[in-house]
Amino acid sequence: MFARLLNLLEKGPRRLLWTVGLLALVALAGGGSQMTSMTMGVDDYDDAESTAVRVLDDVEKATGANLEQGYVVLVELDEPVDPASGERPEVLRRAVELIEKRPEVADVVDYVSAKNPAMVRKDGKSTYFVATVSGFAPGDAVTKAVTKTQDALDADKQLREHVTLGGPTTSNVEASAISSEDLGKAEALAFPVLLILLLFIFRGLIAALIPLGGALVSIAVALGVLGAVMTVVDLSVFALNLVMALGIGLSIDFSLLIISRFREELRAGHSTHEAIARTLRTAGRTVLFSGLTVATALASLLVFPQRFLYTMGVAGIATSLGALLFALLGLPALLAVLGERVNKWAPKSWQRAQEPRTGSESGGRWYRFSHGVMRRPVSAALAASAVLLVLALPAFGIKFTGIDAASMPEDSDAGRVYTTLEKEFPGSLQSPVHLISKAPKHAGTELAAYSKELGKVDGVADVTPPRPIGDGMWETQVALKDAPLSTAAQDTLDAIEKVAAPYPTVPTGNTALYDAMMTSLGDRLPLALGLMSLTTLFILFAMTGSVVLPLKAVITNLLTLAATLGLLIFVFQDGHFAGALDFTSQGALQPTMLIILLAVALAMSTDYTVFLLSRIKEGVDNGLPDREAIATGLEKVGRTVTLAAVLFCIPLGALMLSRLIFIKQLGLGTAASVVIDATLVRALLVPSLMALFGQANWWAPGPLRRFHQRFLSGLQERDEPPTSQATPAAPAAVDSQESVTTAGKA
């Protein structure tokens, strides 16, 4: 593979650069045009095969209404209203008429039509009504509908001052808008910080700009892949957040590793061509393993039926492939053109800092630190493990919740409506349990008796009279006393399902859909974890030829994940630092975000494992004793791993600035896992455990060892090809009229 790549570089690095750039532009043009077709519906979190979702489809076919969507409209009144009067105040009448005329609205229910006085506040100064809507086509159809409805309300001065539009449809559109707006602000704040750190870490303007170019390529390729996939299946718009953050993070990681190794080879006196060849055979292979690890870890999300999750899997694979494309094709070609000019536009002191110091490998900070750890490996391993386990302790009290209007900021319209109804309209119908019964036209009496029994269930606030909604189909709405996604609401749903129904009855609505989602996630999570672990084991086995090192990597990765989960529970579930991070705790964590965090954190943990183990194995292959190889490897790559972690945390940590609590959770969780892994795990746990295991680190059973030697040995890193010798230093860079071959022969 790398021999063919080197041949391409010899024939013309500029041609290869143009090819990569053109491919990125084509991908961006093709994929970018598809982004407006991405979904942003509440059904992004549904399992289409669950009973609660299938009955939604049945109702929509029969009535044209999607019970998962809808508006909840809050109306403030100038004068108190008596709900028993059956009269609508002028502002309510105009609001109801306006909403009824909207083309997406299928039905409107207020206190008059429902004969439900609970839909009026106790003092009579406000009321609400609920509008069911039809399903929306993928893309921006739902955004256009909500925008036009809001514009119509704003065009009427009286309605603008008295009416607030909320509900699940509004909530989801606002969440998408807030996510995009917050992402833009986060990137604007993070970019200057990132650029300054890149200048300092890469020690030069030219080198610092390279990973940003790589990020553009990886993001463009990812968008192209997403666009191609969308010709077959719908994808969620929220994947764009992951594409941006992961594209920047991986491009920085890969560029830092390859440029650092390229500079090291140049300092050793090799020509530009030979330095690139040696870099690709070592750091290039490391990047290949690393990129495959990230892609396969995120590919495990494809086992979930929820569009939100499998979209993240597609986005992760696409972004990883884009980052690999730049790191293994575009970046070597660029370095071939630049040569030593990669160090241009850097202060003299920074250039001198790159010069090798006598005995640097045996006297550097990381070298001394690792030997200090290995002198007391048991103490270091126990101390690091103890800290990780203490951080993980809160994980035993984890609670879950979903994404609905309760997740919205209180300054959003949907958040304001939800909060108001929860406080002032106990047992409101903004998110009821819909009981759909398959029953004949004459079933009204029996279903009415059934609804009376439902009203006796603990946790039920109100039950509307059953009503026919289609041929052989009836609906009974049950308002709950507790928030629809709370544990108490789930218990009430279980009790409702135990009440004997006279006809086949299926619950749906937010509470039932959340219950179905949790069941679906629980059923598929073991498979996803198994795939993550097996692919990690195989890739690390292919790289090292050992079964011990991959097993230790999986165990340390799980410790990192447990510690990260404990930290998230401490902050977001228990509400610590709520003021500093500007959020209101829901007393639980969002499960789909945790699964994404699990995949990303595992991918990045293994990524840094690959960085470190590849350099240690290189030392062992070159004849160094185990402990010396560990210390030398950590000295050579310790700074790179630490700085890569810092840089990776910038774009992901910026997600904590989002006003959406579930985006904050993803940002803090990913950044925390990277920091924990790069410090406690890579700096303490890995060297101490490797020192304790000694030669056993490289053990594999005979059959696996022979399998590796026969089929996978070509994938291992080699510092140089068997017949290669270091060539004298070449001119500083490839001249604009010369090829890499000419530079290599100079």
- Interval 411-459: pLDDT, tens: 899 999 999 998 899 878 788 999 999 999 999 999 999 999 999 999 9
Does residue 421 contact residue 128 with C-beta atoms inside 8 Å?
yes
Q: What is the pTM of this model?
A: 0.85
Query: Given pLDDT bands bounded at 50, 70 and 90, which one contains residue 351?
Result: low
Mean pLDDT of the chain: 87
Contact 719, 278 (CB under 8 A): yes
- pLDDT band per the 50, 70, 90 thresholds, residue 21: very high
Share of the chain above pLDDT 90, in %: 57
Average pLDDT over residues 39-64: 88
Letter for the amino acid at 68? E
Q: What is the mean pLDDT of residues 145-159?
A: 94
Q: What is the mean pLDDT of residues 699-710?
A: 92
Paired strand residues for 503: none
Mean pLDDT in residue range 584-610: 89
Which domains are delineated in the chain?
A: 1-33+203-359 (1.20.1640.10), 60-173 (3.30.70.260)
Query: In the predicted model, is pLDDT for residue 12 greater than 90?
Result: no
Q: What is the pLDDT of residue 363?
A: 65
Mean pLDDT, range 195-219, rounded to an integer: 90
Does the pLDDT value for residue 742 go beyond 80? no
Please report the pLDDT score of residue 663 as a whole number: 86
Distance CA 308, CA 449 (A): 40
Bridge partners (DSSP) listed for residue 468: 474
Q: What is the pLDDT of residues 508-545, one digit of tens each?
A: 999 999 999 999 999 999 999 999 999 989 999 998 99
**Predicted local confidence at residue 193, as pLDDT:** 87
- The better pLDDT of the pair 218, 654 is held by 218
pLDDT of residue 182 exceeding 90, the answer is no
Q: Quote the CA–CA distance of 588 and 355 in Å, as a whole number.
A: 51
User: What pLDDT score was predicted for residue 349?
Assistant: 64
Q: Is the pLDDT of residue 3 over 80?
A: no
Q: Token match 């390729």: residue? A: 221
Stretch among 368-377, 520-529, 634-643 having the lowest mean pLDDT: 634-643
Q: What pLDDT is recorded for position 225?
A: 95
Instruction: For residues 142-159, give the mean pLDDT.
Output: 93
pLDDT at 361: 52
DSSP state for residue 459 in the 8-state scheme:
T
At 726, the pLDDT band (50, 70, 90 cuts) reads: very low
For residue 85, is pLDDT > 90?
Answer: no
* pLDDT at 711 > cutoff 60: yes
Q: Is the pLDDT score of 732 beyond 50?
A: no
Burial class (CB in 10 A: 0-12, 13-18, 19+), 344: middle
Contacts of 175 (CB under 8 A, 6+ apart): 40, 403, 407, 408, 414, 660
Rounded distance between C-alpha atoms, residue 516 and residue 140, angstroms: 27
Instruction: Report which of 565, 593, 734 is spatially closest to residue 241, judged by C-alpha positions.
Output: 593
Res 345 pLDDT > 50: yes
* Cβ contact 524:303 at 8 Å: yes
pLDDT at 315: 96
Judged against a pLDDT cut of 60, whether residue 178 lies above it is answered with: yes
Rounded CA gap, 375 and 385, in Å? 17
Dihedral (CA of 278, 697, 295, 676) sign: negative
CA 171/CA 44 separation, integer angstroms: 13
Sign for the CA dihedral angle at 721, 724, 726, 730 comes to negative
Buried b (16+ CB within 10 A) or exposed e, 581-601: eebeebebbbbbbbbbbbbbb
DSSP letter for 358, please. T
More confidently predicted of 314 and 733: 314
Q: 745 falls in which pLDDT band (50, 70, 90)?
A: very low
For residue 360, pLDDT over 50 is answered with: no
pLDDT of residue 507 exceeding 90, the answer is yes
Among 244-248, 307-311, 669-673, 724-728, the minimum mean pLDDT is found in 724-728
Average pLDDT, integer, range 471-475: 90
pLDDT for the residue numbered 729 = 39
Write down the pLDDT at residue 175: 87
Weakest mean pLDDT among 29-33, 150-154, 275-279: 29-33
Range with lowest mean pLDDT among 350-364, 478-492, 696-710: 350-364
The tens digit of pLDDT for each residue in 286-303 reads: 999 999 999 999 999 999
Model pLDDT, residue 716: 57
- Mean pLDDT of the region 467-481: 90
Residue 656 has pLDDT above 60, yes or no: yes
Q: What is the pLDDT of residue 607?
A: 84
Q: Is the pLDDT of residue 488 over 80?
A: yes
